[in-house]
A and B are shown apart, each in its own frame.
Chain A
Amino acid sequence: MQEKFIEVKQLYKTFWNKKQAVGVLKGIDLEVEKGEIFGIVGFSGAGKSTLVRCINRLEEPDSGTVRIGDSLISSLGKNELNEQRRKIGMIFQQFNLFDSMTVAQNIAYPLKLTKTPKEETEARVDEMLELVGLREKKNAYPGELSGGQKQRVGIARALANRPDVLLSDEATSALDPQTTLSVLDLLKEINKKLGLTIILITHELEVIKYACHRMAVMESGKLLEQGTVKDIFESPKCETARNFISVYDRFRSDHWQEETE
């Protein structure tokens, strides 16, 4: 067994909507090993996005702990949290690139936060552009890029500070299937090359099957099932997992629409 690199214990989070409590996370326990790609799948509104945002505290959990490596994220002060966040990369569904900066400046932004010297920053930006295959777009603005290219810049920016963890919040959900595949290939490649631990949130089961080592199924703020992707595909234990797999299978069934008359 490898070491438990990320450990989430009894995480609770409630949103208040007009004085009505909407429980989003109801006691999440999660362990992710170092160097694996861990997928969390769930239908919309299951709370998976909130869970991943609690890991770097974009969302403050009500109770429970989050630990990454040696640092207890959930009990850090503001400045220490900012320092820790520099070691946690994050990519988003809408990419969230800064339109006022070129690709190179976007990638250099996190390096400025760690006060990286100028020469090193330049070298790192080039290295990252090489990694994501966008060398020729160095001085382009995000507005000129396609969705897939934007996400590659997002990945380069997230990796610039050589983080230990990459959080992916529906990073492929806004991309077409072909681009999704190429972005997933890139994630797999950097996972192998850099030994990066990746937590990947998605509502597409095929994304998990393609890219992840282990997975968890989430519904209504609870993790119903965790295990290797293979195990869950072969013998799903919870209803939600069976549901997901049956949808997945139906899309791949040999049923053809009959021709109209």
Chain B
Amino acid sequence: MSLYKYSFWEVLKHCFSAEVWERVLPAIGETMYMVAISSVFVLIFGILLGLVLVLTSKEGLMPCKPVNTVLGAVINCFRSLPQVIIIIVMLPVARALVGKSYGSNACIISLVASCVPLFARLVESSLLELDKGKIEAAKAMGSGNLRILFTIMVPETLPSLIRAFTNAVVIVISMTALAGSFGAGGIGYIAVTYGYTRYQHDLLFATILVLIVIVQAVQIVGDTISKLILKKRHLI
């Protein structure tokens, strides 16, 4: 159903029809798959890189300028590329790693490449907000660096880290939609092939609804968990 032939309300009504959802539902599955797998990788590598950034910084627990500078520069390089370009650049890498340059798994590679650096920076800024006095108190008690990292820095900043991860997941979702136009499948693919190329605006509307609902849900879950922790600690 195109907006060129039908009125806005007719198209909007039709976007809830079974015919539309027959196409959209499997796409949601694909999108969820890509978002879930990518998010796990983003979480693991983002936290790791973020921790290394903070540890090796000048004021950090194990200052190491070469590591910090090189890592920071690499992260900035990835951060300065728009997501479309990262997807294109990662195509050959994906072919080398998963055997083909299209499909969900290939898309995950570029999602990770784009969102890990972003999340690493978010982790870094969360950890840097931690009151230095707490780290000093742990040091004064004779705690080693790694122990300070995992028993003080991460737990103390957990609510802020959860918020950062929520943001990262939202960006992963939006990028998944973008990757859809590069043969990744999922919601983005539906939006581009039907909504853009074939003027099937009912399908386009459906994808918009789905994306809004998913992002909303992710945001609410993240905010709630973060708030519950703060409440438990009586910090709000």
Which B190-220 residues have C-beta < 8 A from chain A? Answer: none
Taking a contact as CB atoms under 8 Å apart, the answer to whether A94 and B131 are in contact is: yes
A5 at the binding interface (Cβ < 8 Å):
no
Distance of A253 from chain B, by nearest CB (Å): 37
Contact with B along A54-91 (1 / 0, CB 8 A): 00101000000000000000000000011111101010
A95-103, A204-212, A237-245: which lies at the interface = A95-103
> Contacting A94 at CB < 8 Å: which of B133, B144, B156, B232?
B133
Taking a contact as CB atoms under 8 Å apart, the answer to whether B156 and A86 are in contact is: no
Taking a contact as CB atoms under 8 Å apart, the answer to whether B144 and A82 are in contact is: yes
Contacts A96-B133, A100-B158, A143-B234: A113 and B141 contacting too (C-beta < 8 A)? Answer: yes
> Contacting A96 at CB < 8 Å: which of B136, B233, B235?
B136
Taking a contact as CB atoms under 8 Å apart, the answer to whether B131 and A82 are in contact is: no
Q: Which residue of A lies closest to B155 (CB)?
A: A100
> Contacting A84 at CB < 8 Å: which of B137, B142, B143, B234?
B142
Which A131-181 residues have C-beta < 8 A from chain B? Answer: 141-144, 157, 161, 167
Taking a contact as CB atoms under 8 Å apart, the answer to whether A83 and B152 are in contact is: no
Cβ of A101: which chain B residues have Cβ within 8 Å of it? 155
Cβ of A99: which chain B residues have Cβ within 8 Å of it? 156, 233, 235
How distant is the Cα of A128 from the Cα of B155 in the complex, in angstroms? 24
Which A95-136 residues have C-beta < 8 A from chain B? Answer: 96-101, 109-110, 113
The total of chain B residues at the interface (CB under 8 A) is 22
Distance of B233 from chain A, by nearest CB (Å): 5
Cβ of B147: which chain A residues have Cβ within 8 Å of it? 113
How distant is the Cα of A225 from the Cα of B118 in the complex, in angstroms? 55
B95 at the binding interface (Cβ < 8 Å):
no
B139 at the binding interface (Cβ < 8 Å):
yes
Which B126-177 residues have C-beta < 8 A from chain A? Answer: 131, 133-134, 136-144, 147, 151-152, 155-156, 158
Taking a contact as CB atoms under 8 Å apart, the answer to whether B143 and A113 are in contact is: yes
Distance of B64 from chain A, by nearest CB (Å): 15
Taking a contact as CB atoms under 8 Å apart, the answer to whether B234 and A85 are in contact is: no
A43 at the binding interface (Cβ < 8 Å):
no
How distant is the Cα of A187 from the Cα of B139 in the complex, in angstroms? 22
Cβ of B142: which chain A residues have Cβ within 8 Å of it? 81-86, 110, 113
Q: Considering the complex of A and B, which 6 residue pairs feature the smallest CB-CB distances, nearest first?
A: A143-B234, A85-B142, A96-B137, A100-B155, A86-B142, A82-B142
Name 14 extra pairs, CB < 8 A, besides A82-B142, A85-B142. Answer: A85-B140, A92-B136, A92-B137, A94-B133, A96-B136, A98-B134, A100-B156, A101-B155, A109-B138, A142-B233, A143-B233, A143-B235, A161-B141, A167-B140
Q: Which residues of B contact A (CB under 8 A)?
A: 131, 133-134, 136-144, 147, 151-152, 155-156, 158, 232-235
